[in-house]
Amino acid sequence: MAVSPDDKRLVTGLSAGGELQPGLRVWDHQVGRDLLGLYNQGSYIGWTEFSPDGNNLLGVSFYGVVNLYRAPSWAEIEAAEKGMQGP
């Protein structure tokens, strides 16, 4: 897992129902809330890191495959949450 430079977000490997999933999970570090998942094409992530500016995420699989993600902004996270709530 890794904590963002602003100490507000946490990123971990992704799991669902106790099973590893290919991708990353982004959390609100300050309140321990699950924000969203970032998926890839089949690599289970074993190591994560934020870039120094907090704008990018690195995920390295157990097999050495490197996946780069653009870290979602707080505005993008809020928009995704509103979309999930329905009318």
DSSP assignment string, 2-29: EE-TTSSEEEEEEEETTEEEEEEEEEET
**Interval 10-32 mean pLDDT:** 78
Domain ranges (residues) in the chain: 2-85
Question: Which tokens hold the place of 77?
Answer: 């996270």
% of the chain surpassing 90 pLDDT: 3
Q: Which of 16, 23, 55 is nearest to 38 (CA)?
A: 23
Q: Does the reported pTM lie above 0.85?
A: no
Q: How confident is the model at residue 87 (pLDDT cuts 50, 70, 90)?
A: very low
Q: How confident is the model at residue 46 (pLDDT cuts 50, 70, 90)?
A: confident
